[in-house]
Chain A
Amino acid sequence: MASTTHTLTIPSSTRFLEDVREFVATHATDANFSKMSVEKLKMAVDEACTNVIEHAYEGQSEQPIDISIIVNKDKLTVLIRDKGRSFDRTDYEEPDLVQYAKSRKSGGFGVHIMKKLMDEVSYRTGGGVNECCLIKFRD
């Protein structure tokens, strides 16, 4: 089946998150996804890239993050790849908001948000590359 791919590479700094959101919004809108789906995609990709910056590259700001958007007839797939530390996302638990506030935690919602916003979220690591795959089907 025919698909179209768009790619963007950013350095691992939060200052480029705005560019990532614009890149996702442009291509998801061009692919005729609804406004609501575009918002969800923007946010999920932002969270995935933020995790890479903070956890995979641990604050190093010049490492590459490759983002690919693949548009198919029935879905939009975003692949976020990095060569940083592979961190275990499988220990994810749904955060308890009240406990979070009590312990004054400020992070840890990223994966939770991604899973709420996307139809599929998966991770794999191989050959020194970590890949996060986000899938959103058409409404």
Chain B
Amino acid sequence: MSNFSVGFRTSGSVQILDLHGELDAHTAAELEAAIQKCQQENQVRILINGSDLLYISSAGLGVFMAYIEEVRESGGDIKIAALQAKVFNVFDLLGFPMLFDIMESEEEAVEKFSEAKAE
């Protein structure tokens, strides 16, 4: 029984993935499948909403690392929003804010995608 799930929503042209539960070496494959699904549907403006993400290990972080270049090469991005403090600390520990847009709220992240589109 997996303690992790991904919900799909859209906001305009942004694909939102709602992460629920704990992301570790066992459940990372589900996030990978979700990102691949977005790519197959040409939804490369991907917003990760982490408000219900309770835990992340390096296996979960590795999924973001593995896909970010590919998604950016197809004109999109993976932005991360609404992380709980304890989860943000893990992203921060590894220097993720240097490589990813990590916003406090989903609205800010959607806005950032709109700005990029307007440029």
Contacts and interface: CB of A to CB of B under 8 A. Distances in A.
Interface stretch (B39-47, B89-97, B104-112): B89-97
Interface residues of B, number: 27
B22 interface: yes
A101 B57 contact: no
A101 B68 CA distance: 7
A18 B62 contact: no
Tell me the dominant secondary structure on chain B's binding face: helix
Interface string B54-68: 010111011101111
Given A43-B90, A97-B96, A102 B69 contact: yes
Contact of A50 (B55, B57, B61, B93): B57
Chain A interface residue number, banded: 20 to 34
Given A14-B24, A109-B58, A104 B66 contact: yes
B99 interface: yes
B24 A50 contact: yes
Interface of B: 3, 22, 24-26, 55, 57-59, 61-63, 65-70, 86, 89-90, 93-96, 98-99
A117 B57 CA distance: 12
Contact of A18 (B22, B65, B66): B22
A110 to B, nearest CB: 5
B87 to A, nearest CB: 10
A18 B90 contact: no
A18 B86 CA distance: 17
A119 interface: no
B65 A105 contact: yes
A135 interface: no
Contacts of A54: 25
B3 A18 contact: yes
A97 B24 contact: no
A109 B26 contact: no
